[in-house]
Structure 1
Amino acid sequence: MKKVIKIAAVSLLGLAFSVAHADENAIRQALGKAMPSVTVGAVKPSEISGLYEVTVGGNIVYVSDDGKYLIQGHLVDVAARTDLTEEKLGGARKQALEKLGQDKMIVFKPKTSKYTVSIFTDIDCGYCRKLHSEIDQYMAEGITVQYLFFPRAGKGSDSYHKAVSVWCADDRKAALTAAKKGDTPPAKTCVNPVDEHMQLAEDFEVKGTPMIVTEKGNIFPGYLPAKQLAEALADEQGKK
């Protein structure tokens, strides 16, 4: 009798696995057909039966098991008062930034680095300029700053062309610092990651600049003074 129960349990487990695999394939095929330009990452069952959690770039969406319906928004555990989606978004953002790679960012690094943040910036944004004018203060706090471009006026705008010119400059850091002071960088073009930065900003639902992303993928929207940011990063790492 025990042997029969064991065999039945194994069979049910195999059936569940095959159904889940079939659902994942259906979702990938449906999304691939409807949105061919979208790169689908992990697909796994969500906390709601029949609804799958799908990683798209640095974002998370929810899709029905047949791939017919997609829901954008946050899944909240009402009883626990916990935003389940936000908890997982940090990991998705972190992976997306790691996939992009530091070689596609403009990096200001102190001699001794305690923390690393990725900052979406617009050359013509006032608070972005204020933040960069204090870059030495961030370095003094041991904060490595990885810049990504998000020209809010969009592709083809003056801010976009400035971003491309800065990236294509012989000395990117010097060119960025000069541009942040109001100088117009000499027009240059080359292979650049600005469009990738903008796509990532869209995936991260960036609404304004600067937007700071921590090593754990958490977000601090807007300008934060160096000491305040260092305190927040220490809290995140459990050092306070």
Structure 2
Amino acid sequence: MRKLLLSLLLTGCVVNAHADIKQLAIKYPKLKFEDIQATELKGIYSATMDGQVVYLDEAGEHVMLGSMIRLKDQKNLTKDLVVNANRISWKDLPLNQAIKTVKGNGQHQIAIFSDPNCPYCQKLEKELDQLNNVTVYTFLYPIQTVSILPSKQVWCSSSPSYTWQNLIRRHIQPPQNSSCENPIQQNLNLGKKLGIDGTPGIIFSNGFKSTGFISKTDIEAVWKEYGI
């Protein structure tokens, strides 16, 4: 989250568009602006383009990248737009296709799309291990071909959660059994549909999506900030 916000703060450019804001889609079909809405700043509109938050002037002559900060309370108005642009409906996730692990009262919920041979997934597991009162739904997501068979073997084991932890954390290979019905291909299709093009893919219960390693501290910061 901090890296994402820092990137937004440091990124800036202006591109001439020369089109009325309503005519952008017609005159510039390659510029796919979505979710156009007014901002607090008169004459400036927010939009998303390729999943990224951008700003447009009323005349449709400029496209701007960066964060909009409200000075009176130092609120980053772009941050909420970023969250919404990356939001996924939690209730639509097929949680029955994931390995469920509960710690403490399981109050917080988080879904992880993980490849057993992904080093950042292995690093993330150590962070997850330090969290309290959390329910982790692990979607086996073998985007590397070499990871497909062990992912199936994990799912088909007598205790998928225990077998997964042994594999991802201790590199203990699962039992040689991959003949059961498993959701591996469905997970790969799901991840592609959700735009998870790398691992680990992380989805919070408010629908916020993140790709890549994230620390325990940052996970807890999201929980606290959004009350989830």
Same fold (TM over 0.5): yes
Deviations 1:76-134, CA, capped at 9 Å, x for gaps: 5273224397737625x42430xx1x332111112223321111000011111112134
Unaligned runs of 5+ in 2: 1-21, 38-43, 52-81
**Corresponding residue number in structure 1 for 2:92:** 96
**Corresponding residue number in structure 2 for 1:33:** none
Deviations 1:49-81, CA, capped at 9 Å, x for gaps: 9x9xxxxxxxxxxxxxxxxxxx99551527322
Report the TM-score when normalising by structure 2.
0.63
8 Å CA contact 2:143, 2:188 repeated in 1: no
Cα distance in 2 for residues equivalent to 1:72 and 1:121 = 32
* Among candidates 139, 142, 150, match of residue 151 of structure 1: 142
2:206 maps to amino acid: K
Give the 3 Å change call, closer, same or farther, for CA 126–225 of structure 1 in structure 2: same
More helix by share: 1
**Corresponding residue number in structure 2 for 1:175:** 163
Query: Counterpart of 2:213 in 1: which secondary structure?
Result: coil
Query: Counterpart of 2:87 in 1: which secondary structure?
Result: helix
Deviations 1:14-46, CA, capped at 9 Å, x for gaps: xxxxxxxxxxxxxxxxxxxxxxxxxxxxxxxxx
Q: Across the two proteins, how many residue pairs are aligned to each other? A: 165
Cα distance in 2 for residues equivalent to 1:133 and 1:75 = 38
8 Å CA contact 1:161, 1:187 repeated in 2: no
**Corresponding residue number in structure 1 for 2:173:** 184
**Corresponding residue number in structure 2 for 1:80:** 45
**Corresponding residue number in structure 2 for 1:214:** 204
Deviations 1:142-199, CA, capped at 9 Å, x for gaps: 232110021122xxx2201110000000011111011112222122121111111111
**Corresponding residue number in structure 1 for 2:213:** 223
Question: What does 1:1-240 correspond to in 2, within 5 Å?
Answer: 75-77=34-36, 79-83=44-48, 87=84, 90-91=87-88, 93-97=89-93, 100=94, 102-138=95-131, 140=132, 142-153=133-144, 157-180=145-168, 181-189=170-178, 190-237=180-227
More strand by share: 2
Unaligned runs of 5+ in 1: 1-47, 52-70
**Corresponding residue number in structure 2 for 1:12:** none
Give the 3 Å change call, closer, same or farther, for CA 193–74 of structure 1 in structure 2: farther
Percent of matched pairs sharing the same residue: 20
8 Å CA contact 1:90, 1:216 repeated in 2: yes
